[in-house]
Amino acid sequence: MGSGYRMRRRPGPPAIAVLCSGQGTNLHAILNAIRAGRLRARIGLVIVDRPNAFALMRAKRAGVEALYVNPKAFPDRARFERHLIRLFAARDVQVVCLAGFMRILSPVFVRRFRQRMLNIHPALLPAFPGAHAVRDALAWGVRVTGVTVHLVDDAVDHGPIVLQEALPIRRHETPASLLARLHRLEHRLYPQAIQWLLEGRVRVKGRTVTIRGR
């Protein structure tokens, strides 16, 4: 960890933060995995950057602390991010999970959570990065796509890959049918990758990740 963010592990399961901008189906899957005991964590905080993000509602319904933080209320990105860092530190957040968070975080923030921040992407990176991965994969005519969970680094959809699984594209696939199948995959993979990271089993060498004991 960079300086200024102290790991003060409190007793009990480690805290994670989940950052969302939209539906929050991955947040829902994380909550379910925690309830089922597959993910030994607690959600310390959910952050949404849009007031109407359904993820906010989901978190509140689940009794999890969730805040809408309006980035425009801050003079610049650095101050917005410092605010998030303070919120996380106060809740002893160990791992940050981006789950459809449509905002690019600065290298300063990324360094703060180096190898402690994950993102999930609905394609087999490095193919189809960006906000329209599902549509782009279909338009390209690929026969196989999938889901990637990766550590976050300074570039978008770029960091070392923790977990990836392929999904064949079916005949007559539509964006909606593909998205639904990708989501089911995401909801299985993301809690798994978070659990490995929390267990300290994720080892990174250059771009290559190994999972200890796997």
> Residues in the chain, how many?
214
Annotated active-site residue 121? The verdict is: yes
Q: Which is nearer to ligand GRF, 7 or 102 (CB)?
A: 102
Closest distance between ligand GRF and the C-beta of residue 205, in Å?
25
> CA–CA distance from 26 to each of 102, 121, 145, 146 (Å)?
14, 11, 19, 15
Choice between 122 and 191, CB closer to ligand GRF = 122
Asked if 146 and 135 touch (Cβ cutoff 8 Å), the reply is no
Q: What share of the chain is helix, strand, coil (3-state, %, to 5)?
A: 35, 25, 40
Provide the minimum distance between the beta carbon of 77 and ligand GRF in the complex, in angstroms, as a whole number.
20
Alpha carbons within 13 angstroms on the beta-carbon side of residue 166 total 7
Between 61 and 79, name the residue whose CB sits nearer to ligand GRF.
61
- Residues 43, 18: contact at Cβ < 8 Å? yes
Supply the minimum distance, in Å, between the C-beta of residue 11 and ligand GRF.
Answer: 30
Q: Pick the catalytic residue: 28, 83, 121, 187? A: 121
* Least Cβ distance, residue 179 to ligand GRF (angstroms): 7
Q: Which of 53, 60, 59, 43 is nearest to 22 (CA)?
A: 53
Where does this chain bind ligand GRF (CB under 6 A)? 20, 22-26, 99-100, 120-122, 186
Is the CB of residue 111 less than 8 Å from the CB of residue 151?
A: no
Beta carbon of residue 102, minimum distance to ligand GRF (angstroms, whole number): 8
**Tokens at residue 49, please?**
């950057």
Please identify, using beta-carbon distances, which residue of 23 and 74 lies nearer to ligand GRF. 23
Q: Of the two residues 38 and 82, which places its CB atom closer to ligand GRF in the complex?
A: 38
Q: How many helices (H) and strands (E) does the chain have?
A: 6, 9
Active site residues: 121
